[in-house]
Structure 1
Amino acid sequence: MPVSDTIKAVLFDRDGTLLDLQATWAGAFYFIIRDMAGGDESKIQTLADYSGYFMDSRKFDMRSRLLTGAPSDYCARWAEICERPYGEDFMRDFTDLSLKYCDVSPTFLPGASQALDALKHAGIPMGIATNGTESSARRQMAHLGYEDHFFAVIGYDSGYGAKPEAGQVLAFADQLQIEPGDVLMIGDSLHDVHAGKAAGAMTLALPTGAASSDELLAEADQVISSLADLPLMLGLPLPVSAPQARPSLPL
């Protein structure tokens, strides 16, 4: 069955799906890594190497564990490198720095804002499910002027677990009081696809981040090249801007 036939709500991954990974986070993680390492150059380089991050060019290796994993997946090793206990204090510092730098340069991928506008115009509820923090996702959407587009924003720290587990998707469906099978989960990684499938949702993938088209085609219900294609796929009209008044000619 085509994914467009039965959906009642759409749940988006954030990084690599709505937001350009490199443009949004590469600059931010330069500062996050330096601050977490306390400016110690040896620790900075070790954190960067472990994380798949290039300090000189301020870019991610696209195989970086930071691009798909939740902070809880890598921060235990970060704490070890920083010679600090891994626990609430360390995670609080990481979360605070993520929030501090998350809006350095949040950047939508091509077609993302138009897709969000089309879904909102059609009255389809939307949410975000991210393996980052809820607070950073909310701040980024506010920075971009899109916070009112989302019924729910769910992070790894929102109490429902992290992808590829099903908790975030199930929580979104539960909050809307719909069946998980009525949700379309959209993401760029196998974590997103697996989370959607584990919850019983439909899955749509994009090769715009952490996984290739071939990897996604083997797992997702459908793959599209860009969110610019989403409104057409769902049979939605693109919102039309209000006509501009014709300027008066001088007499």
Structure 2
Amino acid sequence: MAGGKIRAVLFDKDGTLFDFDATWGAWAKLQIEALANDPQQAGRLAAAIGFDLERVEFEPHSPVIAGTVREAAELLLPHLPGRSLDDLVLELEQAAHDVPLVEPVPLAALLSDLRGRGLQLGICTNDAESSARAHAAQAGITDLFDRIIGYDSGHGAKPTPRPLLAFADSLGLDPAEVVMVGDSQHDLHAARAAGMIAIGVLSGPAERADLAPLADAVLDHIGGLPDWLARRAG
């Protein structure tokens, strides 16, 4: 399983660094109920973004799992007469800053371990950069990352490879030296298009069968990275 030298790991955020449904399920239900005037409207809003209000979780193929905040707002807007898109995006971004985060494994310890192996680290998310920075700060891990890139950082959103290539270029890395870790097909498509190593994780709504055809490996969660790196080096 040995391959070329790995010099960096680039992480998706939601569903990868943070467990997706445990972090975002209750938050999404709260936001839907706050936006809606009655249960019928709440049901329409939930259906628009592929969210199950009773189970308090996103459907596996919800369009917002790997989408941007603006894309989610665009889906909600037809069911919110009188609201503007820009105001709704701003409201959702601000509300997301303080979401209670659930780590699939202790992040500070894992990321410190990876940095101790000489790896550079980054975040590439389809969330806003401000939200990504707020969440990293809340988890106490901001200083462990060399770059944090959001959909609004000037490079576009996954599945385009542009934000991934921007990460590699900013650090002087060959994309083939970078591992992209994500929980969605968007992440893995972007990794493939960028020429990076693609690792899927199951801490988001996607199942192994969704990710395996696009991934070099599929792990239960990012806690499996050190062992995967050791096997690959061996």
Instruction: Report the counterpart of residue 245 of structure 1 in structure 2.
Output: none
Instruction: Report the counterpart of residue 10 of structure 1 in structure 2.
Output: 9
Q: Is the 8 A contact 1:11 1:186 kept in 2?
A: yes
Q: CA deviation at 1:66?
A: 2.0
Q: Is the 8 A contact 1:27 1:104 kept in 2?
A: no
Q: How does 1:219-230 map to 2 (within 5 A)?
A: 219-230=214-225
CA RMSD across the alignment:
2.3
Q: Is the 8 A contact 1:7 1:184 kept in 2?
A: yes
Q: Which runs of 5+ in 1 are unaligned?
A: 237-251
Whole-Å Cα distance in 2 between the matches of residues 142 and 35 of structure 1?
Answer: 26
Q: Is the 8 A contact 2:20 2:205 kept in 1?
A: no
Q: CA deviation at 1:90?
A: 2.1
Matched, 1:186 2:181: yes
Instruction: Report the counterpart of residue 149 of structure 1 in structure 2.
Output: 144
Q: Secondary structure at the match of 1:140?
A: helix
Q: CA deviation at 1:81?
A: 1.3
Matched, 1:21 2:20: yes
Q: Is the 8 A contact 2:108 2:140 kept in 1?
A: no
Whole-Å Cα distance in 2 between the matches of residues 231 and 92 of structure 1?
Answer: 42
Instruction: Report the counterpart of residue 122 of structure 2 in structure 1.
Output: 127
What TM-score does the superposition give when structure 1 sets the normalisation length?
A: 0.82
Whole-Å Cα distance in 2 between the matches of residues 137 and 11 of structure 1?
Answer: 13
Matched, 1:115 2:114: no
Instruction: Report the counterpart of residue 47 of structure 1 in structure 2.
Output: 45
Whole-Å Cα distance in 1 between the matches of residues 192 and 82 of structure 2?
Answer: 37
Q: CA deviation at 1:148?
A: 1.0
Matched, 1:95 2:90: yes
Q: CA deviation at 1:97?
A: 2.8
Identity fraction in percent: 35
Whole-Å Cα distance in 2 between the matches of residues 101 and 232 of structure 1?
Answer: 33
Task: Report which of the two structures shows the higher radius of gyration computed on alpha carbons.
Answer: 1
Whole-Å Cα distance in 2 between the matches of residues 152 and 95 of structure 1?
Answer: 23
Instruction: Report the counterpart of residue 209 of structure 2 in structure 1.
Output: 214
Q: CA deviation at 1:229?
A: 1.8
Instruction: Report the counterpart of residue 242 of structure 1 in structure 2.
Output: none
Q: CA deviation at 1:177?
A: 1.7
Matched, 1:173 2:146: no
Q: Which runs of 4+ in 1 moved over 4 A?
A: none
Instruction: Report the counterpart of residue 31 of structure 2 in structure 1.
Output: 32
Q: Is the 8 A contact 1:161 1:167 kept in 2?
A: yes
Q: Is the 8 A contact 1:25 1:102 kept in 2?
A: no
Q: Mean Cα displacement is larger for which, 42-51 or 94-103? A: 94-103
* Counterpart residue type for residue 144 of structure 1: A
Q: CA deviation at 1:196?
A: 0.7
Matched, 1:161 2:153: no
2:196 maps to which of 201, 205, 222:
201
Q: Is the 8 A contact 2:9 2:119 kept in 1?
A: yes
Whole-Å Cα distance in 2 between the matches of residues 218 and 71 of structure 1?
Answer: 27
Q: Is the 8 A contact 2:10 2:122 kept in 1?
A: yes
* Counterpart residue type for residue 81 of structure 1: H
Q: CA deviation at 1:218?
A: 1.3
